A and B are shown apart, each in its own frame.
Chain A
C-alpha cells in the first residue's frame, strides 16, 4: 500500500505540474516533452504545497486530500484541453549524433545513480529537524500544521517561520502513503536533480545554440561534490538544491524571454521566481536579485510593463506568507540584526574575515573541487562579451554570493565566523546550477546560432 500511495502522490504532483506546463506552452507548435517534464516537477511541487497550505486553512484530513487531488486532476485536464484546442503536438528531442547520445546517456545514468545514492543516506540534520519535522507534525494533525507548533518555544530550533514549499511536498507523500515514511520521502530530492540536469542542458542549448555544450554542462553537474557528497546536497534532504533549481529555471527563462521576446518564457519565469521565497527564506534574496536583473533587461527591451506584471505572483506570495506568520503570531526569527548604518559601522571590521572565509570555502576542494575556478573563468568570458544578457547572467552569480557574504556583518551569533562557516557552503549551492549555466555559455563563446531545442 505504501508503494501505491507513493506512486499516486508522485503522479498527482506530476500531473498538476504537467497540466500547467502544457497550458503555458500550448500555443507553441511543438511542446518539448523534456522541458514540460522538468517544469512539471517544479510547478507540481509548488502547486501541491500551496494548495495544501491554502486549503488546509479551511479543511483537513481526507477532505483536504480529496480537494487537492481534484485540483491536480483539473490542472491536468485544463492543460490537455489547451493543447488540444491549440493543435499543438508533443516533441521529444533526440540526440543528433554520437557525442550527444553519449552525453545524454551519461546524464540519465547520473540521475539513476543519485536516486539510488539518496536512499542510502538518512535525512541530514536540517533535513530532519527544519523540514521533515513540519511535514510529520502536519501529517499527525490531519494535514495542517497545528497551531500549538507555532506557539511552542521549545521547538523554535525547527524554525517554524520557514516557508512550507518542501515540507508540504513531503506531507503530500505522507498523506498518500498513510504514514510519515522517512525512507521513501527522500525520493523528492533526487527528483529535483532529475529536473535540474535536463533543464540546464536545455537552457544552455537554447541560449548558446549548441546542444552538445548544454548536454556537457549537465553531465558535469554532479561532479561538484557538494551536490552529492557534502552536507546540503541531494542525498541529505536539504532544500538548498531545490532552491538552486528554481533559481536556475527563473533566470534561464528570463534570459530566454530577453533573447526570444516570447511571453511564454516570461510566464515560466513568473512561476519559478514566485516559488523562490516559498522554498527557503533566502529565496527572497534571490528573488530580489532576479527582479533587479529583470528590471534592467526589461528596460533594455522596452518591455518593462510586461516584466513588472510577471513579478506579481512572487510579491503576492511573499506578502501572503508574512501575513500568515503574523496571524499565527510568529515574527520571522533571525540570526541577524536588522541591517542599519549603525550596525554596519559597528561591524564593518568583520568584512576582512568574512571574505577570507568566503575565499576559503570557494577553494575548498572537498566541497567544490575547482568548480568556482571554472565559474570565475566563465564570468571573465561573460563580462568580456559585452552583451547585456551575459553580463546579467554573470551578475546573477556574483550578486547573491556577495549579498550572502555581506549579510554576516549583521550576524547575532557570538562567533560570526562560526555562523558563516556552518552555513555558507549550503548557501553557495543556491547559485551553483546558475554557475553551470554561465560556464556553458562561456564555453559556447559568443557565436549566434539557431535554436536547436
Chain B
C-alpha cells in the first residue's frame, strides 16, 4: 500500500534528519578543534605532561632525572586516591620509567609519613610525589614541573 511506503520512508528520513541535526555541531566541533602539529615521536606523552605539569619534552626530561638515581632500585610513586589527574600522572611515571620497577601507592590523606616509614630504603632508588605534598622534613626535593616532586631515596628515609 502506497501510504505505508510513504509513512515508512517519512519516519526514517525524519529520524535521520534529527540525528544529523543533533550530531552535526558535536562532530563538527571535534573536527575543527586542535591543530595537527609536529609529528613528534612522543607526542602523546609530551602533550599530557605539558598539560598536567607544564614540563616541555617530559618524555626526555623525566627519564633523564630518573637515570641520575642510579640503575638499581625501584621508584615509589605516591598518588592521591580517587584523583584522576594525580593517578594518571602516577601511571605516566610508571610508563616512562621503564624498565625500572615501580610501585604506585594511593594515599587518601594529606600526609604520607606512615607510608614513607614502611619503605625499605635498600630496595628503593627514589620517591615520586604526584600532586601529593611531601612531608616537610624531606629535603633535597627535585621539583619536576608543577605537580611532580622527586626525592632520591637516601633523602626519603625518615
Contacts and interface: CB of A to CB of B under 8 A. Distances in A.
Instruction: Tell me, yes or no, whether A binds B.
Output: yes
A314 B104 CA distance: 36
Contact of A182 (B16, B29, B36, B42): B42
A128 B44 contact: yes
B103 interface: yes
A369 to B, nearest CB: 4
Interface stretch (A84-92, A198-206, A335-343, A371-379): A371-379
B129 to A, nearest CB: 16
A443 B42 contact: no
Interface in B33-78: 33-45, 47-48, 74-75, 77
Given A125-B88, A370-B18, A377-B15, A183 B40 contact: yes
Interface stretch (A113-121, A245-253, A266-274, A347-355): A113-121
A97 interface: no
Given A229-B26, A443-B12, A371 B41 contact: no
Given A129-B91, A223-B24, A374 B39 contact: no
B103 A113 contact: no
Contacts of A127: 44
Contacts of A373: 15
Contacts of B37: 120
A335 to B, nearest CB: 15
B19 A371 contact: yes
Interface string B129-153: 0000000000000000000000000
Contact of B99 (A123, A148, A158): A148
B43 A122 contact: yes
Interface in A279-315: none
A374 B15 contact: yes
B20 interface: yes
Interface string B72-108: 0011010000000000100110110011011110000
Nearest to B29: A229
Interface string A127-153: 111001100010010000010110011
Contacts of B31: 113, 117, 228
Interface of B: 8, 11-12, 15-16, 18-20, 22-24, 26-27, 29-31, 33-45, 47-48, 74-75, 77, 88, 91-92, 94-95, 98-99, 101-104
Interface of A: 2, 113, 116-117, 119-123, 125, 127-129, 132-133, 137, 140, 146, 148-149, 152-155, 157-158, 179-184, 220, 222-225, 228-229, 235, 365-366, 369-371, 373-374, 377, 442-443, 445
**Pairs of residues from A and B, 5 with the lowest C-beta to C-beta distance, nearest first:** A229-B30, A154-B102, A122-B44, A120-B34, A183-B39
